[in-house]
Amino acid sequence: GNVIKTNKTDVVYEEGSDITLSCSQSPVASDYIYWYHQYERSKPEFLVLTFASAKEAQRSDVDPRFSVVVEKREQIHVDLKISSAAVSDSALYYCALSPCS
């Protein structure tokens, strides 16, 4: 089966620092890659959509400080980068992958 992994499950950064969150899938079986964040007692909110064949995010509706870099080899590796982190960025972050059609 497919395995989705994150690089870290719990991270702490100082305000103003740059943050990189990663997830990977092996074997490559997805086309669309989504990032969401979820604040306490709230529903998950969409951040970014990208494609396995892309190098960078195709769409971000939230904040220009959020960017995505995609690396595809024998697995898909997706980094969500947050520049100049703010206290308001404290949340749970999810990487979701949808199957190829």
Answer whether residue 5 shows pLDDT above 50: yes
pLDDT band at 55 (very low <50, low <70, confident <90, very high): low
Task: Give one DSSP letter per residue of 22-78, joined into a string.
Answer: EEEEES--EEEEEEEEE-TTS--EEEEEEETT-SB-SEESS-TTEEEEEEESSSEEE
Rounded Cα distance between 90 and 75, Å, is: 28
Delimit the domains of the chain by residue range: 3-8+17-99
Answer whether residue 43 shows pLDDT above 90: yes
User: What integer pLDDT is reported at residue 1 of this predicted model?
Assistant: 47
Q: Provide the CATH number for the domain formed by 3-8+17-99 in this structure.
A: 2.60.40.10
User: What integer pLDDT is reported at residue 6 of this predicted model?
Assistant: 56
Residue 85 DSSP one-character state: -
pLDDT band at 50 (very low <50, low <70, confident <90, very high): confident
Answer whether residue 83 shows pLDDT above 60: yes
